[in-house]
Structure 1
Amino acid sequence: MGYLKYNSEEFEFDDRTATHLQIAISAKLRRAEHFFLTWEIHHKQGSGRHSIWIDNGVPLHFFYSGSRAASVNRTWLDQLMLTAATPLGMQVGEEPAEKPAVPEED
């Protein structure tokens, strides 16, 4: 398990989810796009959901418990980026099956 430390709070995510969040969040922040990040609280930790405002002015730190970077699911990244543009913000959910890459035409 890893952590997303935002401002002075820590939120637990598995390393694979955190990797995808880091890529998606950094892409949005590089473009100066602010948004809500929302996820459900695991039933073992109670119930409900978190929603935090992601902004360039707030310190952001990802901590990974594993030493290897996770492989990237492009379908999941696309899903995170698309939901970030909605009023509810970037929605963290279950990882979708990765769609096969479309071969380039010559």
Structure 2
Amino acid sequence: MGTLYYGGESTAVHIEDRALAHLKVVIATKLRRGESFTVSWRHPDDQPRGRSTVWIHPSIPLRFVFDDPEPAQLSRSWVEELASSASSSGGIMLIAEHFDTESMDVADDARQGSSSALA
């Protein structure tokens, strides 16, 4: 289980490592462009029922912490789906992964700049 720290060390959001890795790619791309947006998610079963939304802005501190020391293999379709929702008026809605056979290499993506899937 990874952790997203937003707006300081006291605000911690626990997100499964693989989902957090995908979210990180999309958030980093949007913030690099100076864009603000929201991220929403449903509360896990072990928390009170409901959902949360945070406003992501380039000036607010943000840190991603992963439990797994190895980077996750990313799904291109999941990144594209999250990126598409990030550009909508509703912002990113963290959704479950739709498994596919096409993955993307984070190192390849970093060498090429931002992915066309995140444009």
TM-score of the superposition, structure 2-length normalised?
Answer: 0.80
Q: Which amino acid aligns with 1:44?
A: D
Query: Deviation of residue 55 (structure 1)?
Result: 0.4
Partner of 1:4: 4
- Residue 55 (str. 1) matches residue 57 (str. 2): yes
Residue pair 2:85, 2:93 contacting (<8 A) in 1 also: yes
Whole-Å separation in 2 of the counterparts to 1:12 and 1:68 = 18
Q: Which amino acid aligns with 2:95?
A: G
SS in 2 for 1:38: strand
- Residue 23 (str. 1) matches residue 32 (str. 2): no
Query: Deviation of residue 57 (structure 1)?
Result: 0.3
Q: How many residues align?
A: 101
Partner of 2:100: 98
Query: Deviation of residue 46 (structure 1)?
Result: 1.7
Partner of 2:91: 89
Q: Which amino acid aligns with 1:56?
A: P
Whole-Å separation in 1 of the counterparts to 2:102 and 2:73 = 15
- Residue 67 (str. 1) matches residue 62 (str. 2): no
Unaligned runs of 5+ in 2: 104-119
Q: Which amino acid aligns with 2:24?
A: Q
Query: Deviation of residue 41 (structure 1)?
Result: 0.4
TM-score of the superposition, structure 1-length normalised?
Answer: 0.90
Unaligned runs of 5+ in 1: 102-106
Whole-Å separation in 2 of the counterparts to 1:40 and 1:90 = 12
Whole-Å separation in 2 of the counterparts to 1:32 and 1:22 = 15
Picking from 34, 37, 42, the partner of 2:36 is 34
Identity within the alignment, %: 31
